Amino acid sequence: MSTPADPGARLGTELSDAVVMFHEALGALMGLSAADNKALGVIRREGPMSARELADRTGLTAGAVTGLVDRLEHAGYARRTRHETDRRRLVIEATAPASPQVNEAAGEMAQAMARVTEQFSPDELLVVARWVELTTATMREQAVRTAARTT
Amino acid sequence: MSTPADPGARLGTELSDAVVMFHEALGALMGLSAADNKALGVIRREGPMSARELADRTGLTAGAVTGLVDRLEHAGYARRTRHETDRRRLVIEATAPASPQVNEAAGEMAQAMARVTEQFSPDELLVVARWVELTTATMREQAVRTAARTT
DNA sequence: CTGAATGATTTAGTGAACTAAACCATATCG
DNA sequence: CGATATGGTTTAGTTCACTAAATCATTCAG
């Protein structure tokens, strides 16, 4: 089935779990529910957008998005602005993580990952980078396909 | 700051996002809320446990765990048994994913990852495996440290 | 300029999952 | 054996984010 050197199988379980756990822990530290955290991810990933757009992305109704953005804004992770030309629209954008605690945690994580990187030669890092890239694309595609099945 | 060959930085954002997205999509396909999915993860990861133990792990009260296990059991992802010697206690254990849809999605993911693996030599796979292992350990540790900050 | 359309908010009501506490069943201790 | 502790369930009440629909503001089309 899977050899000890098959990272694909491992990713499926352990790394994936660890990533999810860290993500959840960071979300909790930020004081965000899983749903709010997910929405923030959408804004961060896709850049500033209107409330309607965010509603479509998250599958929420317009009314729910108002509350969602209220919470994100109040917690300091997002900002509401009016659209320059169309003043009915909002521009919802993510702001830098405010809390020092969150910055510290993120910084610590970055350092820890740097220590991992340190242990590989430049050539090896190229290999790993290639794998990470392919895997990311695969996970994304599978996420979309899997989501499509739910309908 | 981070070179194109620094997988650590990439993991922090893109792969991590993709992993979380897939995890969420799979959870949705399984008909589980994020919280229930997380609890199921605990049972899968740590093996059979009593309701009290699960309550401690998830931070829920005893009453809430009853409902939680009800849902998991009803959806076919967990099973309640009585403890052999102490018949007050439950033994809550995860069962194999029942729904054909979930199996299909999991299978498709496994195949997709196999196609990624295919593109690397055995030597390269060893490098990747080493990186995955170190990264997993790091993420786990950081998840725990981050969770501790929340308190 | 008026009327219809669009974007966001507000309001009222609903549902899901939670807590706290009362409640059974079983186990353990004196 | 009786009293007390422990594990899980049940119940009553609360909280919170959601939807649907009414509302306000702005834009666009005729």
Instruction: Give pLDDT tens digits for B90-128.
Output: 999 999 877 888 899 999 999 999 999 999 999 999 999
* Weakest mean pLDDT among A133-147, B67-81, B95-109, B118-132: B95-109
| Among the partner residues B4, B22, B116, nearest to A134 by beta-carbon distance | B116
**Within a domain: residue A140?**
no
**Does B14 reside within a domain?**
no
pLDDT of B97 reads 79
Instruction: Tell whether A137 is covered by a domain.
Output: no
Q: Is residue B91 part of a domain?
A: yes
Query: CATH code at A78?
Result: 1.10.10.10
Number of C-beta neighbours around residue A41 at 10 A: 17
Q: Which residues of B touch A38 (CB under 8 A)?
A: 24
**Residue B86 has which token pair?**
């102490």
Does some domain include residue B116? no
Cα A67–A34–A80 angle (5° rounding)? 35
Residue B14: per-residue pLDDT: 86
Q: Does residue B109 fall inside a structural domain?
A: no
> Tokens in use for A111?
């350092």
pLDDT of B82 strictly over 90: yes
Contact B11, A132 (CB under 8 A): yes
Q: Distance from A78 to chain B by nearest Cα, in Å? A: 18
User: B63 lies in a domain?
Assistant: yes
| pLDDT tens for each residue of A25-34 | 999 899 999 8
Kind plus residue range of the DSSP H or E element containing B41: helix B34-46
- Is the CB of A23 inside 8 Å of chain B's CB atoms? yes
Domain count, chain A: 1
Q: Name the residue range of residue A55's domain.
A: 31-96
Asked if residue A71 is part of any domain, the answer here is yes
Distance, in Å, from the CA atom of B16 to the CA atom of A15, rounded to the nearest integer, reads: 10
